[in-house]
């Protein structure tokens, strides 16, 4: 049913309401392009007050609400629900306060991740979480998905750096949680909100912890004949008590794509490569880098390089950061998965993924945060071939099951969203899911915020079914549960 845009235009301005069918298509999906739903209306507020008023109006009209950041998510977390209001936060992109003395910044959710570090660099500081999409993804989305990145092995994920937030709740009320200190009194509600995928409230301001730039950083690149050897090297480094800032692994297929796309001079005959950053005090960095190189050599490294200037370092990291996009050079389409395993299981899991790829007939490239076991397998396929897209999705699902079987999880940083909701019941018990839902319902009893995500079936708040519990995804693809 069409929604009258005029009441929303009175709040945010007519130019900040999207209602034309052709324009609404822009908001049908996020980075998970296989699922598309057209929202009823999109609003682009600029302030917390405007977000609050839009949410209140949507609730009065009985509309579900989906918050959207930059739209770079890869799990379908920002896919609209039928008849929903999308609250786009892209206009809320101000860095509101920089408090270097206390190592804090206050930002709006539409601020691009990398822009925080760019603003802080002249002051000698930076923001540590660095997703591969950090040049385009926004802080609000990072908070929603608990985004990580290459350098989170040493410094932690978004949850370790998001200290407080202004939150618009499902009824349009505004509350403050946490604050610009490391440890607030009372319950740690920020820990619940970070990673909640927009189901507890809409974040309109965030206090972030920032860090002083390290005195020195050494980047080390090493190639190996097999992923097993590279995995053994990672385990040896961590077992020695070394905590690099980043440990990234790429297999031979990923190297092929990266070289084709970026022109880095990485050897195409390598079975795997590690890209490692060691940072800190200069003297410590040199000693740690020397020991890291020795351990990799002992584990069978074929070649070890260590660029000593920023230009060479930037080129190497450009290769890694551009790995997902580089897949377009070797495949017309790809499906990205995101799972976590214990570090010691890397070699075994990669062997099972290789066997799965061979059995399915689809190639799988592996690019991942080896230091914390966060896998990003990319299943390559051709959507022009009948059935290949569905096969790629099934292969991705089997990879998640492999992760679970090896003591891991179905997501490390991309979230559950629509894409992986069906696998939640394979990782958690009914009691687990009901407990999670109780927390959700404490914030949003009617489940009006981002309905149909994360939970594998409609889960009730008390005995009320709620108007927004069931989505077409749940009706069509997920077995029901009482």
CA–centroid distance for 169 within its chain: 23
Reported pTM: 0.92
Q: Which CATH number fits domain 6-88: 3.30.43.10, 1.10.357.10, 1.20.59.10, 3.40.50.1970?
A: 3.30.43.10
End-to-end CA, the chain: 30
Per-residue pLDDT of the chain (482 residues; tens, 9 = 90+): 689 999 999 999 999 999 999 999 999 999 988 889 999 999 999 999 999 999 999 999 999 999 999 999 999 999 999 999 999 999 999 999 999 999 999 999 999 999 999 999 999 999 999 999 999 999 999 999 999 999 999 999 999 999 999 999 999 999 999 999 888 888 999 999 999 999 999 999 999 999 999 999 999 999 999 999 999 999 999 999 999 999 999 999 999 999 999 989 999 999 999 999 999 999 999 999 999 999 999 999 999 999 878 888 999 999 999 999 999 999 999 999 999 999 889 989 999 999 999 999 999 999 999 998 999 999 999 999 999 999 999 999 999 999 999 999 999 999 999 999 999 999 999 999 999 999 999 999 999 999 999 999 765 565 344 444 443 333 333 333 22
CATH class of 95-212: alpha beta
Q: Which CATH architecture has domain 331-414?
A: 2-Layer Sandwich (3.30)
**Torsion angles phi and psi, residue 358, rounded to 5:** -65, -45
- Out of 3.40.470.10, 3.40.430.10, 3.30.70.2190, 3.40.50.11900, which CATH number does the structure's domain 214-330 have? 3.30.70.2190
Total Cβ atoms within 10 A of residue 230: 30
Residue 405, CB half-sphere, CA atoms under 13 Å: how many? 10
Residue 92 · residue 141 · CB < 8 Å? no
User: Which part of the chain is CATH 3.30.465.10?
Assistant: 95-212
Handedness of CA 93, 96, 100, 103 (dihedral sign): negative
Phi, psi of 80 (to 5 degrees): -65, 160
Where along the chain do the CATH 3.30.70.2740 domains lie? 331-414
**Cα Rg of the chain, angstroms:** 22
Ranges of CATH 3.30.43.10 domains, the chain = 6-88
Sign of CA dihedral 227, 233, 237, 238: positive
């Amino acid at each position: 049913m069409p929604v009258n845009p005029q009441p929303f235009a009175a709040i945010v301005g007519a130019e900040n309401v999207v209602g034309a069918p052709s324009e609404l298509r822009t908001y049908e999906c996020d980075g998970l392009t296989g699922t598309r739903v057209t929202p009823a209306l999109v609003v682009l507020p600029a302030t917390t007050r405007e977000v609050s008023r839009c949410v209140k109006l949507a609730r009065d009209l009985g509309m579900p609400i989906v918050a959207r950041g930059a739209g770079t998510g890869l799990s379908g977390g920002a896919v609209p629900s039928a008849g929903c209001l999308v609250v786009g936060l892209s206009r809320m992109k101000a860095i509101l306060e920089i408090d270097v003395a206390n190592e804090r910044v206050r930002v709006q959710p539409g601020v691009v991740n990398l822009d925080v570090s760019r603003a802080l660099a002249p002051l000698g500081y930076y923001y540590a979480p660095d997703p591969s999409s950090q040049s385009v993804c926004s802080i609000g989305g990072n908070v929603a998905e608990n985004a990580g990145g290459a350098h989170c092995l040493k410094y932690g994920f978004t949850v370790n750096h998001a200290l407080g937030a202004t939150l618009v709740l499902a009824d349009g009320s505004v509350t403050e949680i946490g604050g610009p200190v490391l440890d607030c009194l009372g319950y740690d509600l920020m820990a619940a909100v970070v990673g909640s995928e927009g189901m507890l409230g809409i974040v309109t301001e965030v206090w972030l912890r920032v860090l002083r730039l390290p005195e020195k950083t050494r980047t080390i690149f090493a190639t190996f004949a097999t992923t097993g050897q590279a995995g053994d090297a990672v385990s040896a480094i961590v077992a020695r008590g070394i905590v690099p800032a980043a440990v990234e692994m790429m297999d031979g297929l990923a190297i092929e794509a990266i070289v084709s796309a970026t022109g880095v001079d990485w050897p195409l005959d390598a079975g795997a490569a590690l890209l490692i950053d060691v940072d800190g005090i200069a003297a410590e960095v040199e000693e740690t880098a020397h020991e890291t190189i020795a351990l990799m050599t002992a584990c069978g490294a074929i070649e070890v390089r260590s660029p000593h200037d920023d230009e060479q370092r930037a080129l190497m990291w450009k290769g890694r950061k551009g790995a997902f996009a580089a897949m377009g050079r070797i495949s017309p389409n790809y499906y990205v998965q995101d799972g976590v395993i214990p570090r010691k299981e890397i070699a075994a899991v990669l062997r099972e993924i290789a066997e799965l790829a061979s059995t399915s007939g689809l190639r799988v490239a592996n690019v991942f945060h080896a230091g914390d076991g966060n896998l990003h397998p990319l299943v390559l396929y051709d959507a022009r071939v009948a059935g290949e897209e569905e096969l790629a999705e099934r292969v991705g699902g089997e990879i998640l099951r492999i992760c679970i079987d090896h003591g891991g999880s179905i997501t490390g940083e991309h979230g559950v969203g629509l894409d992986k909701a069906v696998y939640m019941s394979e990782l958690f018990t009914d009691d687990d899911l009901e407990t999670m839902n109780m927390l959700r319902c404490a914030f949003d009893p009617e489940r009006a915020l981002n309905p149909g995500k994360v939970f594998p079936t409609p889960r009730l708040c008390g005995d009320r079914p709620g108007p927004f519990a069931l989505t077409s995804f749940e009706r069509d693809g997920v077995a029901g549960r009482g």
